[in-house]
Amino acid sequence: MPLRSETFHKKQLLGVILVSYMGTPTEKQRMGAIGEDIATTFLVKHGFSVISRNYRKKYGEIDIICEKDGMLHFVEVKTVSRENVSRETSDSYQAEENIHEAKLKRLGRTIEAYLLEFDREEEWMFHAVIVLLDKKAKVAKVRFLKDLII
């Protein structure tokens, strides 16, 4: 079963837990939390075991940390919401462009901190999951970008 792109429907979006630091979450925080929940569902469906979500340090955050086949996997989730997610929309805007050099540097430092804090020495990989939310149809398209270089 390929890990390229899948669609999640309305019934799979129920039960989303929103976390906010100060009061009511913003629209961006709500969409991010939904995207991370969808990405987690996608990863679990493809055999990953989630260890942690939203591992934070003052210099960065790792959205999802999971294991599969004896290896650690660190996952960055980027969520884009549109009124309608068409093929044209998903092709013209590349959310992964927001995983820029400075972001990768912060992620690398945060991964190092996690490995040291939890005394983990096994091999690891870094991935990105892009979630395109169609708010009108209440459907999400997922793209899995495997083994990115930090």
Asked if the model's pLDDT at residue 5 lies above 60, the reply is no
- For residue 100, give the 3-state DSSP assignment: coil
User: What is the mean pLDDT of the segment spanning 108-123?
Assistant: 96
pLDDT tens-digit profile of 37-53?
999 999 999 999 999 99
- Across all residues in the chain, what is the average pLDDT? 83
pLDDT digits (tens, 9 = 90+) for 11-25: 444 444 444 345 788
Q: How confident is the model at residue 137 (pLDDT cuts 50, 70, 90)?
A: confident
Cα distance between residue 3 and residue 114, in whole Å: 26
Contact 112, 124 (CB under 8 A): no
The pLDDT > 90 percentage for the chain reads 60
How far is the C-alpha of 147 from the C-alpha of 127, rounded, in Å?
5
How sure is the predictor about 92, in pLDDT bands with cuts at 50, 70 and 90? Answer: low
**Of the candidates 140, 142, 148, which has an alpha carbon nearest to the alpha carbon of residue 13?**
140
| 31, pLDDT greater than 60 | yes
Indicate whether 116 pLDDT > 90: yes
Which domains are seen in the chain, by residue range?
A: 5-145 (3.40.1350.10)
pLDDT for 109: 97
Global pTM value = 0.79
Lookup result for tokens 């395109």:
132
